[in-house]
Every structure is written in C-alpha cells, then in structure tokens.
Amino acid sequence: MFAPSAIAEISQETLALSKRLFLQLKRRPSTLVAGILQPLIWLVLFGALFAKAPIGLFPGGGSYGKFLGAGVIVFTAFSAALNAGLPVMFDREFGFLNRLLVAPLRSRYSIVLASVLYITSLSLVQSLAIMAAAWGLGYGWPGGAGLLVVIGTLLLLVAAVTALSLALAFALPGHIELIAVIFVANLPLLFASTALAPISYMPGWLGWLAALNPLTFAIEPIRAAYLGQFAFDAVVLEAPYGALTAAQCLLLLLVLSAGLFLSIRPLLDRKLS
C-alpha cells in the first residue's frame, strides 16, 4: 500500500508529533499526577468504606478492596483515554493544527496516530501506578500471565475511548464543550458498571445498564486475572441477557474499538482534508 519512503516519512512525522506531546507531559506533569491521584483516592476511600464488609460478601471470596481493584484500574485507563481529545482541541483552537496542515505531511493520520501513541502510553503508566498502589494496599497483584491479560484488555478499552474522544475533539466547537462532555460521561459510566459492585447487587434496570457498559467488559476479565481465575472460556459476567466468557468480553471490546475507529474515519477525513 505504501512505498518504503512513505513509511519512513510517516514514522518521522508521527515520532516528531508524539515527541512534542511527551515533552509537554514531562514539563507539565500535572495531567499525569492528577490522573493517578484521582483513582488512588477512589481506591483508598472506597476500599475503606467497605473495609468491614464480611469476607465472601463480594464475588471471588476476597475483601472488598480486592473486588474494587480491577474496577479502579479500568477507571484509570478510561479517564486518561477520555482526555485524548484535549490536546487536539487546543491545537485546533490556538491555530497550531493549521501549522501542521500547511506542512506536506505524507499522511495526516500521523496527527491521530501520535495522539493514540501518547494517550496509550500515558494511560498504561497511570494504570500501572494504580496497580502498584493496589498491591501496596494488599489488594493483590496479577501474575505474569495475568499482567498480560490486564494490559491487553486495557489497550482494547483505551483504543475505543481514544477514538471517541478524538472524534469529539474534531466535532465539538471548543474545549469548554469537550470538557463538559468528559465531565458528564466520566462518573455515570463508572457507577453504571461493575467497578464498585457486582450486578447481583443492582436493581434490574441498573444491572442491564452495567451489563451493556463497555467498562464492564474490561473490568470482568481483569478481575478474573486478579483472582487467578482467568481462562478465555471461563464465564466472567452473569449478565441479565446471559453469561459472557472472558473471550466474549474481549471480543466485544475489540469489535467496539474497531467499529469506532471505522465510524470516525469519515469525520477525520473531512476535518483533515
């Protein structure tokens, strides 16, 4: 599809654009710190809230903290990816995007690719920090294979949410609107998932919402990995519409992110041409 020189040029563009984002992060690390601090507070406060709940009350047989860990890890990656569109939005607003668009970029998807690279690394670093914190609080650590499951699952979720956020960054008129959408989407998606409580504790309608929420599809395989019970054909979610195995959850995430990237393409093509 591309000549070797094209691949070299695209990687030159993408690396240079990502380097800019990482330099920004290094010199202004507040995004990184806040993205760790917020879930850490959730982990400590929510963990403490139900610290005296009887062992075995929550599925998996461990403490509430052990149950909560997987939810907060997914929430961390999700929040980071939800912010993916912000740098792009600021570039649109301040005219920096125009600087990129007058350059003879081999592919303007380099701009999108750089954002995806950046936000994926950022959210993985934040999630690993939260995993370390959860381990420090005694909420467990997935083994070597488990770690691969966690990272793989997070990557799928991050890809989907990044696509969504980038689309919003090009579709909305300004950063105020984008931040408003992020603000409104963030917490309800957390509560309407199995991050904080299992479906069996929820009223029917909320159970349905949680069972349709993509966050749930990421939380349950990770939870299984933390409990050492992960297998692709093991049932991880008892949804109102039937039982889902880990493989099915991951497949749903894969379809979701692929579908999102395909469906935002026309928008990106229009905005970048």
Partner 1 sequence: MINLEQIYKRYGSVSALEGLSLEVPKGCLYGLLGPNGAGKTTALRILCTLLAPDQGRVFIAGLDALADPRGARAQLGYVAQEVAIDKILTGRELLELQGSLYHLSAARSRDRIAALSALLGMEEWLDRRCGSYSGGMRRRLDLACGLLHDPAVLVLDEPTVGLDIESRAALWDVLQQLRQQGTTILLSSHYLEEVDALADRLAILDRGCVIAEGTPEQLKQQLGGDRITLRVREFASQQEAQRVQQIIQGLLGVSQVLINRAQGHAINFVLEGQGSEALVQLRQQLEHAQVPVFSLAQSRPSLDDVYLQATGRTLMDAELAAISSRDSKAEKKQAMR
Judged by CB under 8 A, the stretch of 20-28, 66-74, 135-143, 184-192 that binds partner 1 is: 20-28
Would you give the DSSP letter of residue 198?
A: -
Instruction: Report the nearest approach of partner 1 to the CB of residue 160 (Å).
Output: 24
Is 247 in a helix, a strand, or coil?
A: helix
> Interface mask (CB under 8 A) for partner 1, residues 167-196, using x and -?
---x--x-----------------------
**Degrees to nearest 5, angle at CA 212 with 178 and 263:** 50
Instruction: Report the nearest approach of partner 1 to the CB of residue 27 (Å).
Output: 5
Which tokens is 237 given? Answer: 């979610």
| Residue choice 40, 68, 81, 105 for contact with partner 1 (CB under 8 A) | 105
Task: Quote the CA–CA distance of 263 and 265 in Å, as a whole number.
Answer: 5
Judged by CB, which is closer to partner 1: 26, or 52?
A: 26
Instruction: Report the nearest approach of partner 1 to the CB of residue 7 (Å).
Output: 12
Task: Quote the CA–CA distance of 241 and 128 in Å, as a whole number.
Answer: 33
Indicate whether 34 belongs to the interface with partner 1 (CB under 8 A). Answer: no
Indicate whether 52 belongs to the interface with partner 1 (CB under 8 A). Answer: no
Q: Which three-class secondary structure string do you get for 58-100?
A: CCCCCCHHHHHHHHHHHHHHHHHHHCCHHHHHHHHHHCHHHHH
Instruction: Report the nearest approach of partner 1 to the CB of residue 182 (Å).
Output: 19
Instruction: Report the nearest approach of partner 1 to the CB of residue 97 (Å).
Output: 6
- Sequence-separated contacts (24+) of 140-144 with Cβ below 8 Å: 140/62, 140/66, 140/69, 140/226, 141/226, 142/222, 142/225, 142/226, 142/228, 143/228
Judged by CB under 8 A, the stretch of 18-26, 126-134, 160-168, 239-247 that binds partner 1 is: 18-26
Q: How many residues bind partner 1 (CB under 8 A)?
A: 31
**Degrees to nearest 5, angle at CA 91 with 90 and 95:** 115
Instruction: Report the nearest approach of partner 1 to the CB of residue 162 (Å).
Output: 19
Contact between residue 43 and residue 130 where contact means Cβ atoms under 8 Å apart: yes
| Residue choice 58, 80, 106, 127 for contact with partner 1 (CB under 8 A) | 106
Judged by CB, which is closer to partner 1: 96, or 208?
A: 96
Containing 138, the helix (H) or strand (E) segment is none
| Residue choice 95, 144, 203, 266 for contact with partner 1 (CB under 8 A) | 95
Contact between residue 78 and residue 160 where contact means Cβ atoms under 8 Å apart: no
| Residue choice 7, 41, 48, 98 for contact with partner 1 (CB under 8 A) | 98
Indicate whether 16 belongs to the interface with partner 1 (CB under 8 A). Answer: yes
User: Which residues contact partner 1 (rule: CB under 8 A)?
Assistant: 9, 12-13, 15-17, 19-20, 23-24, 27-28, 92-106, 170, 173, 271-272
